[in-house]
């Protein structure tokens, strides 16, 4: 993984652009790229000028960072932004499940049309590598957000065929809930802890859990190891939502409010159908594309067993309430 001291890295002298660069993930990976690599330039691409202004204040006098106002829905703006870029980390998305249900056209424009724009602009500007962030909700989706991200994943994998003789390669990273990201349950539980009651949709509910730092490290590692077409899935622990509530407010009462529309009892990151092309690489899995151009150079991982599926309720790794408390302490 990437340490805190700048040494020789895969990112040295490269220009890296991060879409959604003012979001929770975007800010963290930008900071890490500037601190731990010799990247020549890091470009923050996002559509919110206020968030960009606030982020700029943190980097006064830093000459390796640039800020670019734009929307992934706008191909021409992406084409201009990608000029001279080596790597793209695509983190921009409409990701709130209820918001996507109520604003489906908007979710499609950003998450699907935006993915197509990223792919076409990257190929046309001869970007070397693009890695896109996915979500466990894209696996066997039951809500619109997950469905749009599944389409996005398919587009990025297929982008390697569209690239043709161009050098651009695309891959996807899929992981679970991020501790403390904007709009997540941790800030909500903390806000409600003083009331003495925490709302839980179902006491049986489980989720995959990862810290922002772990997510950033996994994306950077995957960007380095990718050949093009892979869907990278880290091996991360699960947690029970009831244990999360105990970790944040041990004495609070639990109010069971029922599962919301578009919500699963357990999340899944690799389905039984995906498992046919999935290999175990040790600390992570890779779902390989079932396409002729990839089949010629399969990965040397260990094929997973027949019937394998990776879901939060069948996980081998579980976080206790104490481990959760330690994990969220710095969030």
Domain boundaries, the chain: 15-177+210-236+268-310
Predicted pLDDT of residue 6: 54
CA 144 from centroid of its chain's CA atoms: 17
Decide if 90 contacts 133 (C-beta within 8 A).
yes
Predicted pLDDT of residue 26: 97
Nearest to residue 89, comparing CAs of 128, 62, 52, 124?
128
123, pLDDT greater than 80:
yes
Predicted pLDDT of residue 1: 44
**Residue 180: band (very low, low, confident or very high) from pLDDT cuts 50, 70, 90:** low
**Residue 188: band (very low, low, confident or very high) from pLDDT cuts 50, 70, 90:** confident
| pLDDT tens digit sequence for 160-174 | 999 988 889 999 999
Predicted pLDDT of residue 281: 96
List the single range of 97-106, 188-197, 288-297, 313-322 with lowest mean pLDDT.
288-297
Third-level CATH fold of 15-177+210-236+268-310: Rossmann fold (3.40.50)
CA 318 from centroid of its chain's CA atoms: 21
Decide if 218 contacts 281 (C-beta within 8 A).
no
Claim: this prediction has a pTM higher than 0.75: yes
Predicted pLDDT of residue 282: 95
Catalytic one among 137, 149, 246, 264?
137
Q: Has 137 been annotated as catalytic? A: yes
φ and ψ at 282, to 5 degrees? 105, -85
Residue 167: Cβ within 10 Å count? 11
321, pLDDT greater than 80:
no
Residue 26: Cβ within 10 Å count? 23
Q: Work out the average pLDDT over 54-83.
A: 97
Predicted pLDDT of residue 179: 82
List the single range of 17-21, 71-75, 83-87, 252-256 with lowest mean pLDDT.
252-256
CA distances from 147 to 97, 105, 262, 287 (A): 11, 13, 11, 18
Nearest to residue 168, comparing CAs of 119, 201, 133, 112?
119
Q: Work out the average pLDDT over 93-107.
A: 94
305, pLDDT greater than 80:
yes
Decide if 215 contacts 275 (C-beta within 8 A).
no
| pLDDT tens digit sequence for 254-298 | 999 998 888 899 999 999 999 999 999 999 999 999 888 786 677
Beta bridge partners of 53: none
Residue 148: Cβ within 10 Å count? 27
Strands (DSSP E) contained in the chain are 15-19, 41-46, 65-69, 87-90, 129-133, 169-173, 177-178, 197-200, 206-210, 231-234, 238-240, 253-256, 268-270, 278-280, 284-287, 302-303, 310-311
CA distances from 78 to 41, 75, 117, 314 (A): 17, 5, 7, 41
Kindly give, in sequence order, each residue whose CB lies less than 8 Å from that of residue 154, ignoring residues fewer than 6 positions away: none
Token pair listed for 292: 């002729």
329, pLDDT greater than 80:
no
Predicted pLDDT of residue 3: 43
Q: Which residue reads 């500007």 in tokens?
A: 125
Distance CA 126, CA 167 (A): 6
Nearest to residue 139, comparing CAs of 101, 109, 175, 91?
175
């Amino acid at each position: 993984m990437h340490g805190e001291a700048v040494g020789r890295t895969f990112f040295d002298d490269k220009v890296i652009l991060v879409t959604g660069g003012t979001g929770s993930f975007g800010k963290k990976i930008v900071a890490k790229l500037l601190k731990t690599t010799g990247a020549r330039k890091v470009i923050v691409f996002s559509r919110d000028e206020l968030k960009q202004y606030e982020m700029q204040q943190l980097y006064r006098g830093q000459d390796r960072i640039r800020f670019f106002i734009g929307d992934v829905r706008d191909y021409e703006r992406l084409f201009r932004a990608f000029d001279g870029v080596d790597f793209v980390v695509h983190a921009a998305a409409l990701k709130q499940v209820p918001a996507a249900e109520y604003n489906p056209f908007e979710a499609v424009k950003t998450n699907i049309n935006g993915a197509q724009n990223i792919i076409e602009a990257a190929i046309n500007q001869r970007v070397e590598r693009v890695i896109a962030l996915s979500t466990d909700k894209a696996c066997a989706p039951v809500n619109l957000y997950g469905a749009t991200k599944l389409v996005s994943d398919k587009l990025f994998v297929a982008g390697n065929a569209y690239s043709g003789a161009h050098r651009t390669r695309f891959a996807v990273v899929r992981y679970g809930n991020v501790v403390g990201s904007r709009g997540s349950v941790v800030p909500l539980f903390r806000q409600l802890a003083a009331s003495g009651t925490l709302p839980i949709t179902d006491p049986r509910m489980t989720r995959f859990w990862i810290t922002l730092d772990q997510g950033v490290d996994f994306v950077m590692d995957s960007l380095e190891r990718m050949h093009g077409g892979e869907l990278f899935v880290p091996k991360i622990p699960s947690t029970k939502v009831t244990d999360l509530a105990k970790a944040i407010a041990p004495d609070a009462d639990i109010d069971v409010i029922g599962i919301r529309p578009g919500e699963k009892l357990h999340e899944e990151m690799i389905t039984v159908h995906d498992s046919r092309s999935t290999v175990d690489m040790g600390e992570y899995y890779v779902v390989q594309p079932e396409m002729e151009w990839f089949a010629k150079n399969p990965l040397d991982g260990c094929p997973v067993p027949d019937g394998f599926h990776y879901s939060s309720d069948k996980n081998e790794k579980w976080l206790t309430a104490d481990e959760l408390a330690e994990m969220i302490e710095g969030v």
